[in-house]
Amino acid sequence: MGQLKPSVRIAASSIFLLSLVHILFWAFLAVVLRKDLPLEFPYNYLIPIFWIIAAAGALGLLVALGIFQARNWARISAIALGVVVAFFCAFGMSVPLLIVFGALPLATLGLDVRLKNDFVRLFVVYFLVFALAVWWIFLFSKKSTVAQFSTNAGSVAPAEPRKPACPPPIALLAWLMIVSGALSGLSWPLILERIPAMLFTHIFSVDASQWIWGVNIALFLACGIGLLKLQSWSYTGTVALHIFWLVSLFASQVSSGYESYMRICLNALEIPQNYPGLNLLRFPQWASALVTAIPTALLIAGLFYYRRSFNQAVADSRHLSA
């Protein structure tokens, strides 16, 4: 612990405190709103979701404690945590920005225009957390920081070469794809079994859509596992899969039939068109398309950026096994 620099200790402390605030905030929402929310779908699922989100904050506490003990897995986890937090904060900043600059009039969302200042404050909070997450990424990626977490400092070099591993950013994406596929499978009876798929402006039947959802889940799981196993085909498959959904979703969301598709989904889920709070989810089509496209486009750009590192790990793995 004595080898850690003050900046690393401060970063670890910020991760610990932010994770603690995260847990308390979502737990508070779960307790306070438990009696006030309707029992109908989808509000009956909000309280369990709030508790799951709150419990996820425990990972941040674990990462912070690992950093204080100079564990290298904690440093890598802090980078991954920074990427995840920065992504969600970037998404969270987009809506307040659109509202502040008038792209999303509050009246069309069923909100009081006097709430505009509240959205300004919300943007500031998201921006501060976003800046903090970016700092974590850069700090824990620096060579000087890596040296503080070296588990081999002052020790004899290992006799056997170290087994090649998937680059941490790609490993994070792989796990996200696996978790996403697993959650999609769990939500099958509630959502995917009931709603149709819309690909490139074409709405498929429910029966055909089940095949589409099933194949997509299988591809996400296969590519995620393939990335962790350093299979070269999985990288190309992951890029192609995300490009496919990026183009398909963007084309669908800006098409004239997207509003009709949303009504079909609401009817399939037995949600009334005038359900309370539904207006909060109705953004202009171009705004929804951009919010969906920008993060996916950045993810694809990151895949191209880390392709050389992944290919090197694949080559090292094959050389080691030869």
- Residue count (the chain): 322
Lowest mean pLDDT among 113-117, 147-151, 220-224: 113-117
13 — pLDDT class (breaks 50, 70, 90): very high
Lowest mean pLDDT among 31-40, 68-77, 232-241, 279-288: 279-288
113: pLDDT strictly greater than 80: no
181: pLDDT strictly greater than 80: yes
Question: Quick one: average pLDDT of 247-262?
Answer: 85
User: Above pLDDT 90, what percent of the chain?
Assistant: 11
Indicate left, alpha or beta for 224 from its phi (over 0: left) and psi (-120 to 50: alpha).
Answer: alpha
pLDDT of residue 318: 79
Distance CA 233, CA 2 (A): 44
**pTM for the full model?**
0.63
Question: Quick one: average pLDDT of 102-117?
Answer: 56
37 — pLDDT class (breaks 50, 70, 90): low
pLDDT of residue 276: 45
Peptide bond into 276 cis (omega under 30): no
Question: Quick one: average pLDDT of 190-212?
Answer: 86
The chain-wide mean pLDDT, for the chain, equals 79
Which residue has 């300004």 as its token pair?
Answer: 120
Distance CA 233, CA 170 (A): 14
